[in-house]
Structure 1
Amino acid sequence: MTQPGSTPSRPRRGAGCLQSLLVLAVILGLGYGASKVFGDKDSSSSSASSSPSSASDGKGGSWEVGDCGGPDPENKPDGYRAFDCDDSGATFEALEIKSASILPNAIQCPAGTDLIIQVSRVFGSGDNKKGGGIPTNTVCGRNLTGEHPGDAGAGGGQLVKGDCITSTAKEVACASAGSDAFKVLDLVKEKEQCPAATTEPMELMMAMGRPYDVICGGKV
């Protein structure tokens, strides 16, 4: 698994049958879990989501760790497709493959994940290929070049240990964190499970499928 801050390898894998899959960008949850019990997370946070709008010929295939992909020019703005890793259209590499889930909160990718993409299989042609489909798996992707907002402390991606948050549980870059910021020491189900250095255990609103309910905040 690629560690935060490292540069992923770029295996020369052929897109092959992967190009026949509908790949839907569902920039799921980038921070979606961080909502204090007293209110929703600030809408200006790094969280984002988008409606699927891609197409495929429905021939089938599956993703593996190390496969690459990028934006699908035929299905803007949210469509993604498979590319060879050395192709100019490739922008990310699959860091980890998860099972598909109808509960966005249930998808928890590793640190270093810059984008999360739902892959679905579509049958038919023409307008039938616009959206929908049968979810097959979820790709945790890391950018091949450029910035890595998913690295711990970088201020983007899903919330992971090592990130920084404000007193209202909004994720921020640790390098620019203010005096009210906390370091995420752990993500647990019960506040009693937080490590001893925790000074601000933040209990979150209920979210089906999310693997944690408490953010253990400590000194930055």
Structure 2
Amino acid sequence: MVQHATAGPQESGRRTRTAGRVALALVVGLCVALTAACDKDSSSASGSSKSKGKSGSWQAGDCGGPDPDDKPDGYRAFDCGDPGATFKALEVASASILPGSVQCPAGTDLMIRVSVSYGSSSKDKNKGGGIPTNTVCGRNLSGDHPGDAGAGGGQLVKGDCVSSAAQEVACASAGADAFKVLDLVKEKEQCPAGTTEPMELTMSIGRPYDVICAGDA
């Protein structure tokens, strides 16, 4: 006769308690690992940048520059006297997921969107993912200021020049079909005197103007 060994009540209880302790240890270990991973991810900010000020967030007056460890679109904070610093933050605005809805002050040469990503590698964060938190409005520390009125870069402002297709161009090299931006308004009836070419744009949610009031350049 073949006999099959079976565990008695006491031995079965010991096995159940041991298995429970092992399962509990695995769950605790998993929770600790997940918490550490989340803490690590939430401590870094990214956007057009892996950008973070000295205290963890950008403030007006902070300086920054390209992050050598996060090329080609990463930025990081630097002391303003550091050789790596290339711009100073004129303003730090709240971020928006709507393109064109963040308006930086005059003289802004570059805009850096700062966002926080969770549960992904830093490499993935620099591909435009994450939750937008701020927009850094930066002005170059060098003498190159494409964001100045008429220089042809940055956001469109009064004093810039545009082509007949409503594209910004540098006033100094503008062609005969260029116009000077006299104002940016919601309705063409709001354009100031001297407007010869009110350019009505396709509606864009969040943009503060829908009409470029253009005149002779």
Which of the five TM-score ranges fits, normalised by the shorter chain? 0.7 to 0.9
| 2:67 is aligned with 1:67 | no
C-alpha contact (below 8 Å) 1:22/1:81 kept by paired residues: no
Runs of 4+ in 1 over 4 A off after TM superposition: 123-129
Deviation at 1:125, TM superposition (A): 7.3
Cα RMSD (Å): 2.2
Select the residue among 24, 31, 45 that pairs with 2:47: 24
- Aligned pairs (5 A) from 1:56-95: 61-95=56-90
Q: Confirm or deny that 1:107 pairs with 2:130.
A: no
Secondary structure of the residue aligned to 2:100 is helix
Change (3 A) 1:129 1:183: same
Contact between 1:55 and 1:122, CA under 8 Å: does it hold in 2?
A: no
Given the superposition, is the C-alpha separation of residues 134 and 203 from structure 1 closer, same or farther in structure 2, using an over 3 Å criterion?
Answer: same
Which of 140, 144, 148 is matched with 1:143 structurally?
A: 140
Q: Is the 8 A contact 1:65 1:97 kept in 2?
A: yes
- Give the TM-score taking structure 2 as reference length: 0.73
Range moving further from structure 2, 131-140 or 66-75 = 131-140
Q: Greater share of helix residues, 1 or 2?
A: 2
How many angstroms does 1:60 deviate by?
Answer: 7.2
Q: 2:51·2:75 contact (CA, 8 Å) conserved in 1? A: no
- 1 or 2 for the larger relative contact order (CA 8 Å, sep ≥6)? 1
User: Quick one: percent identity of the two aligned structures?
Assistant: 73
Instruction: Report the TM-score, using the length of structure 1 for normalisation.
Output: 0.72
Instruction: Indicate conservation of the 8 Å contact 2:51/2:77, yes or no.
Output: no
Give the alignment of 1:4-19 within 5 angstroms.
none
Per-residue deviation, residues 55-78 of structure 1 (Å, max 9, x unmatched):
88xx97221110011111111111
Question: 1:175-219 CA deviation, whole Å, 9 max, x = no partner?
Answer: 112211110000000000000110000000111110000000011
Following superposition of structure 1 onto structure 2, how do residues 164-183 of structure 1 map, counting pairs within 5 Å? Answer: 164-183=161-180
- How much has 1:128 moved relative to structure 2? 7.1
**CA-to-partner distance for each residue in 1:37-67, whole Å, 9 max, x for gaps?**
xxxxxxxxxxxxxxx6x488xx972211100
Instruction: Output the CA distance in 2 between the equivalents of 1:149 and 1:96.
Output: 17
- One-letter identity of the residue aligned with 1:76: K
Which runs of 5 or more structure 2 residues have no equivalent in the other structure? 1-42
Q: Structure 1: any 5+ residue segments left out of the alignment?
A: 1-19, 26-51
Larger radius of gyration: 2
- Using the alignment, how far apart are the partners of 1:127 and 1:181 within structure 2? 43
Deviation at 1:93, TM superposition (A): 0.5
Q: Report matched runs for 1:186-205 at 5 Å.
A: 186-205=183-202
